[in-house]
A and B are shown apart, each in its own frame.
Chain A
Amino acid sequence: MKVFLAALLFAAVAAVGVSIVLNTFQQPSYAAFTTGGARVGDPGNNLVGPG
């Protein structure tokens, strides 16, 4: 059981670590593949409001 829990913990820690590393040099898709002219609002919002 200890080994199993240790594996789960390691997986979680590794995933968080990877997310931190990747987020330092990766852009979200709405920023990476669009330009200022193509953005119609902040992520999570559309032209008529949140949603």
Chain B
Amino acid sequence: MQLSSPLVRRRSRNLETEGRSAMARSHSTRKACIPKAAAHKASILKALCAAFALLFVVAHPAAAQLSFKPTAEAVQEDKLLNALKEGDKITGRITIPDAMAASLIQPAGRDWRDFHRSKLPIIGGVAIIGMLALLAIFLMVRGRIRVDHGFSGTKILRFASFERFTHWLTASCFIVLALSGLNISFGRILILPLFGAQAFATMSTYAKFAHDYLAFPFMLGLVIMFLIWIKDNIPGKIDLQWLKRGGGILSKGQHPPARRFNAGQKGVFWIVIIGGSLMSVSGWFLLFPYIPANVTTMQFWTVIHAVIAMLFIAAMMAHIYIGTVGMEGAFDAMGTGEVDLNWAKEHHSLWVEEEQAKGHAPSGSTPRAVPAE
């Protein structure tokens, strides 16, 4: 608090002058009369005390007018925070080893928190519930896609053991990762009221451990998948034809030719590879926080991780649907590894021809009659 009022300064000068003159008078008469000098000192002290008291009374209101106004400053502080752009932050001075503790306010964190609390649940809800609704409508309208010529009883090897092992390794990890990840976004809303705080906290802790550690076999499966299936998933002209005809799944009796993987399966492959890679990279930043990035970069990657996860889960729901409920005979490909020859001819006719040419598949199967339903 500074005493800079003109009134205060003038009073101070007057008091200094009065004090010096009083002391001078006292000094000149000291030798003449000691008791008188003591009385003078007492009177001077009284005058000084009175002067300081007067100074305090006069100066205090004047100084108070010059001090900061908390309300006005708060408004300015709010403006300051709003003026701070992404990446800006207010830092302090610290003496502890953790340098990040010096960040006092990081306004981008508010946007990040708002995203997680409001936008992300909407994105996730629309993607996942929307996909469930679409699949339900598709099942009701189209029904289960049957093998038009019925099962022949002749099998053809679709996926070898190692391919199925890789698929189930990645898929089982993905399911745990998806459920434990969804628990982060929706657990408080959906699970906490059902199980209570204690059970929810314990479950979430173990789910977090599972999420962290199963991420590694998932990434391993992703790499192996890429290596073993990339050669069959290069897009080609035949995929355009398949797409133009809607893959034959929109109307009965339509079976556009396809090699080992049709355009839909190639789409799933690239969704898994690209989506899985983005999940892996972003997850790596979260598994090892602050090593390669600051908090702003970490917030960016959590957003990427969460949004891709929601879309990834929605896409995999469609994949699971068509591989189980949606299409008759499809699950055998990953179940036993062998599919019915008629199923293979209907959905992967060019691949069957290639396998027959190699001698890996029986040729000329006789279709059975379609049983009445």
Contact = CB atoms under 8 A, between A and B. Distances in A.
Do A and B pair up? The answer is yes
Interface in B94-145: 96-98, 100-101
Contacts of B216: 14-15, 18
A3 B217 contact: no
Is chain B's interface secondary structure helix, strand, loop, or mixed overall? Answer: helix
Given A11-B214, A14-B216, A35 B98 contact: yes
B209 interface: yes
Nearest to B96: A35
Interface in B76-107: 96-98, 100-101
B213 A7 contact: no
Interface in A1-51: 1, 3-4, 6-8, 10-11, 14-16, 18-19, 22, 33-35, 37-38
Interface in B174-233: 209-210, 212-214, 216-217, 220
B47 interface: no
Nearest to A5: B168
B277 interface: no
A18 B169 CA distance: 15
A7 B210 contact: no
A26 to B, nearest CB: 8
Contacts of A1: 335
Given A3-B164, A15-B217, A33 B172 contact: no
B169 A7 contact: yes
B310 interface: no
If over half of A's interface residues share one DSSP class (helix, strand or loop), that class is named, otherwise mixed; here it is: helix
Contact of B96 (A11, A15, A38): A38
Contacts of B209: 19
Interface string B263-305: 0000000000000000000000000000000000000000000
Nearest to B171: A7
A33 B166 CA distance: 37
Nearest to A1: B335
Contact of B165 (A3, A15, A16): A3
Nearest to A37: B96
A15 B169 contact: no
Contacts of A19: 209, 212-213
Given A11-B217, A15-B217, A33 B161 contact: no
A8 B97 contact: no
A11 B165 contact: no
B145 to A, nearest CB: 24
B169 A10 contact: yes
A3 B338 CA distance: 13
Nearest to A26: B288
B344 interface: no
B165 A7 contact: yes
A20 to B, nearest CB: 10
Given A3-B161, A18-B216, A33 B173 contact: no
Nearest to A10: B169
A43 to B, nearest CB: 11
B63 to A, nearest CB: 37
Contacts of A35: 96-98
B213 A15 contact: yes
A-B interface, 7 closest residue pairs, ranked by CB to CB distance from nearest: A7-B168, A15-B213, A14-B217, A7-B169, A18-B216, A11-B217, A35-B96
28 contacts: A1-B335, A3-B168, A3-B337, A4-B164, A4-B172, A6-B165, A7-B164, A7-B169, A8-B172, A10-B169, A10-B217, A11-B169, A11-B172, A11-B214, A11-B217, A14-B216, A14-B220, A15-B213, A15-B216, A16-B213, A18-B213, A18-B216, A19-B213, A22-B213, A33-B98, A35-B96, A35-B98, A37-B96
Interface of A: 1, 3-4, 6-8, 10-11, 14-16, 18-19, 22, 33-35, 37-38
